């Protein structure tokens, strides 16, 4: 049996169901309609006429409580995404394991990297920052505390920005990690921008990496907020460590082509 | 009056918003269109990211593009420039790294919509602005992001356009109050006494300045965290003339300073208004407690723009909102850049 799977070209990526490019997707949702023919027709119409999918098929329908029906459907997506275009705005951090990060820091930086982290403001969720910083880490991968070349300080949750800033200055940290649950209404955005502005007001923005993480945080949002990177679901401690190590190394040795290309 | 008239005195203009979706990009678009009509060459950068197709938090909110004319200079990241598809010549590759790639300075060779994401750190912004000026930009526009004010620093900008809008509150009175408080904070005035100003500017650390000119240094930990340690230093000392904070001045410190009973008012001095962080309090509240905030470098406020729409939520009547904010801010041009008559001051034209 061949282990080499046929791969789609990355400029037109479609969902994979049974075979390449069949575009099959599975959806699940609840409609506030009693279980019955009308609810089924509503589910099909929604997927076919409003979601832009074709050939919807109900594979599971179950009454939840009176007035509500839960559905699972298959349908076909006709659109594709161009991964090359998306990749253009991804930062070029090379993936590294814990051991590789430690070896990289030893060689390229030659001193321990000092990192401080907290969940700031009124946010009580410390699970994100804990999983990145604490020894235990998550999913079998150690947190930064376990790394030989990292010194970590986890201030916990509900930490005021001012307290985080004061400790960061005292410890002369290389990076500040903040985890934050950004809501749809952007309620916690102000906490994140305030930290950036505080560091800037102290005249230290160039001396410290600012990294934010949370379920809704993307690189795009991180850039708007004024952070150097944003991490979300699917990120492990070694990804954050690799970014910090590589970024610090890159900043200490400016790229050679940082010059005017045209005569002035 | 139009927005280009309001910004005329400033070569380097910073755009600052009071929140996300207050209309910074629309204001930038109006400035770009008017300056193009005047034949000026512009240089544009953003401390965040601007000109994106949809909101980074709620992608149901569509955002306006940034349309740049031919010959305009722009500082943005290389991948974003490529993605824009506009024909442009990269003139300088900088060292400034962002989550969206490395920043380049480019000259547009044709009209194009460009997503703008320049350097983030103020010092780096200053560098690309200087580069664009050297390359021929006559007017430099530094776009802000969300509610960040760092771009307004007098080191970076000669003047600021502040955007306020319906997104701040569904209550017009509250919107007006919050806008007024933000303007008061942004436009803190310079230390009046020239001698005190010179003395404060010469200090390298935060300090208490006494009547006789002596300076007692304040440790950074006291300024930011163990703020209660400042109280015994001030208690019974009416000869403390001013508190100078080199860096960020925050509410916990101001609250402690407000606790000290004094016969004379206390002046608290920072480099500029972008160093002062208030969330609950306002300048007026601290003034009532005998604390006067003052700066070494004031920020000229060129205009305030009003956006009547809170995306996917509520909206105000555009004229009513503009007029209400204008009434609160008699010394500043208040403009609705999308209105046919942005300042609401047009004399009715005679009927032909």
- Nearest CB among A160, A228, A264 relative to B99 is that of A228
Q: Determine contact: A254 vs chain B, CB below 8 A.
A: yes
Start-to-end Cα distance in chain B: 23
Which residues 133-192 of chain B have a CB within 8 Å of chain A? 134-135, 145-150
A66 min Cα distance to partner chain B (Å): 31
Q: What is the pLDDT of residue A13?
A: 87
What confidence category does residue A2 fall into, taking pLDDT thresholds of 50, 70 and 90?
Answer: very low
Tell me what the mean pLDDT of segment A154-177 comes to: 91
Q: Which residues of B touch A227 (CB under 8 A)?
A: 99, 120
Q: What is the pLDDT of residue B116?
A: 94
pLDDT single digits (tens) B176-197: 999 999 999 999 999 999 999 9
Q: Determine contact: B101 vs chain A, CB below 8 A.
A: yes
Q: Which residues of A touch B279 (CB under 8 A)?
A: 190, 194
Q: Whole-model pTM?
A: 0.83
For the annotated catalytic residues of A, the residue numbers are: 136
B117 min Cα distance to partner chain A (Å): 8
A35 min Cα distance to partner chain B (Å): 30
Q: What is the pLDDT of residue B62?
A: 66
Higher pLDDT, B42 or A220: B42
d(CA A245, CA A241): 6
d(CA B227, CA B220): 10
Task: Check A189 against B79: CB less than 8 A apart.
Answer: no
Q: Determine contact: A197 vs chain B, CB below 8 A.
A: yes
What is the number of other CB atoms lying within 10 angstroms of the CB of residue B228?
A: 13
CB pairs under 8 A between A and B: 149
Q: Which residues of A touch B20 (CB under 8 A)?
A: 186, 189
The rounded mean pLDDT for chain A is 84
B79 min Cα distance to partner chain A (Å): 5
Share of chain A above pLDDT 70, in %: 85
Q: Determine contact: A261 vs chain B, CB below 8 A.
A: yes
> Which residues are A177's β-sheet partners?
A117, A211
Nearest CA in chain A to B205: A202
Q: Which residues of B touch A263 (CB under 8 A)?
A: none
Structure token digits, residue B220: 């950074």
Nearest CA in chain B to A167: B221
Helix B172-186, helix B318-328: angle, nearest 10:
40
Structure token digits, residue A154: 């986890």
- Nearest CB among A89, A203, A251 relative to B100 is that of A89
Residue B59 backbone phi and psi in degrees, to 5: -75, 5
Q: Determine contact: A12 vs chain B, CB below 8 A.
A: no
Q: Which residues of A touch B252 (CB under 8 A)?
A: 160, 162
pLDDT single digits (tens) A55-104: 999 999 999 999 999 999 999 998 888 776 665 556 678 888 889 989 99
Q: What is the pLDDT of residue B11?
A: 97
Task: Check B100 against A219: CB less than 8 A apart.
Answer: yes
Q: What is the pLDDT of residue A3?
A: 42
By the 8 A CB rule, do A90 and A53 touch?
A: no
Q: In this structure, what DSSP letter does residue B179 have?
A: H
d(CA A131, CA A171): 22
Q: What is the pLDDT of residue B332?
A: 94
Q: What is the pLDDT of residue B85?
A: 84
Helix A161-171, helix A189-201: angle, nearest 10:
40
Q: What is the pLDDT of residue A131?
A: 81
User: Who contacts B97 (Cβ-Cβ below 8 Å, separation ≥6)?
Assistant: A228, A247, A250, A251, B103
Global ipTM: 0.88
Q: Which residues of B touch A219 (CB under 8 A)?
A: 99-100
Q: Where are the beta strands (DSSP E) in B153-265?
A: 159-165, 207-210, 215-217, 240-244, 249-250
Tell me what the mean pLDDT of segment A153-157 comes to: 88
- Nearest CB among B47, B52, B58 relative to A220 is that of B52
pLDDT single digits (tens) B69-123: 999 999 999 989 988 888 999 999 999 999 898 999 999 999 999 999 999 999 9
* Residues of chain B under the 50 pLDDT cut: 352
A263 min Cα distance to partner chain B (Å): 9
């Amino acid at each position: 049996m061949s282990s080499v799977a046929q791969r789609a070209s990355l400029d037109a990526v479609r969902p994979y169901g049974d075979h390449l490019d069949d575009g099959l997707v599975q959806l699940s949702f609840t409609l506030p309609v009693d279980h019955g023919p009308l609810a089924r027709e509503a589910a099909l119409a929604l997927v076919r006429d409003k979601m832009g999918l074709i050939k919807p098929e109900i594979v599971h329908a179950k009454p939840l409580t009176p007035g509500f029906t839960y559905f699972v459907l298959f349908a076909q997506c006709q659109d594709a995404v161009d991964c090359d275009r998306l990749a253009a705005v991804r930062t070029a951090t090379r993936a590294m394991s814990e051991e590789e990060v430690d070896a990289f820091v030893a060689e390229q930086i030659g001193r321990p990297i000092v990192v401080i982290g907290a969940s700031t403001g009124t946010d009580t969720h410390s699970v994100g920052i804990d999983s990145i910083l604490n020894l235990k880490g998550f999913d079998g991968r150690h947190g930064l505390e376990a790394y030989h070349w990292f010194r970590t300080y986890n201030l916990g949750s509900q930490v005021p920005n001012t307290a985080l800033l004061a400790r960061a200055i005292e410890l002369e940290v290389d990076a500040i990690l903040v985890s934050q649950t950004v809501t749809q209404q952007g309620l916690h955005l102000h906490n994140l921008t305030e930290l950036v502005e505080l560091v800037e007001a102290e005249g230290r923005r160039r001396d410290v990496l600012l990294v934010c993480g949370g379920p809704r945080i993307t690189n795009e949002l991180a850039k708007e907020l004024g952070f150097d990177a944003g991490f979300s679901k699917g990120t492990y401690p070694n990804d954050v460590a690799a970014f910090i190590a590589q970024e610090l190394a890159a900043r200490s040795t400016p790229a050679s082509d940082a010059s005017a290309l045209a005569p002035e | 009056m139009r927005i280009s008239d309001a910004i005329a005195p400033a070569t380097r203009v910073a755009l600052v918003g009071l929140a996300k979706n207050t209309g910074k990009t629309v204001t930038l678009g109006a400035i770009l269109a008017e300056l193009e009509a005047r034949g000026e060459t512009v240089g544009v950068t953003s401390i965040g990211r601007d000109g994106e197709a949809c909101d980074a938090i709620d992608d149901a909110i569509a955002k306006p593009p940034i349309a740049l004319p031919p010959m305009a200079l722009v500082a943005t990241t290389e991948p974003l420039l490529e993605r824009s598809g506009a024909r442009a010549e990269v003139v300088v590759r900088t060292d400034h790294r962002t989550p969206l790639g490395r920043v380049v300075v480019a000259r547009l060779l044709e009209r194009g919509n460009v997503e703008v994401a320049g350097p983030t750190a103020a010092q780096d912004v200053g560098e690309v602005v200087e580069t664009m000026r050297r390359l021929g930009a006559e007017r430099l526009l530094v776009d802000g992001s969300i509610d960040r004010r760092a771009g307004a620093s007098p080191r970076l900008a000669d003047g600021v356009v502040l955007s306020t809008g319906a997104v701040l509150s569904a209550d017009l009175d509250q919107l007006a109050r919050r806008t007024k408080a933000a303007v008061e904070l942004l436009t803190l005035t310079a230390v009046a006494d020239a001698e005190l100003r010179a003395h404060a500017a010469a200090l390298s650390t935060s300090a208490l300045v006494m009547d006789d000119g002596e300076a007692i240094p304040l440790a950074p930990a006291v300024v930011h965290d163990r703020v209660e340690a400042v109280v015994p230093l001030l208690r019974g000392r009416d000869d403390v003339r001013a508190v100078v904070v080199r860096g960020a001045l925050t509410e916990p410190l101001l609250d402690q300073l407000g606790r000290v009973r004094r016969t004379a008012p206390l002046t608290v001095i920072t480099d500029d208004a972008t160093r002062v962080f208030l969330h609950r309090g306002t300048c007026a509240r601290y003034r009532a407690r005998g604390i006067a905030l003052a700066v070494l470098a004031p920020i000229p406020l060129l205009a305030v723009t009003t956006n009547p729409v809170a995306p996917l939520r509520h909206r105000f009547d555009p004229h009513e909102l503009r007029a209400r904010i204008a009434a609160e801010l008699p010394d500043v041009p208040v403009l609705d850049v999308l209105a046919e008559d942005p300042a609401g001051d047009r004399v009715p034209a005679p009927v032909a």
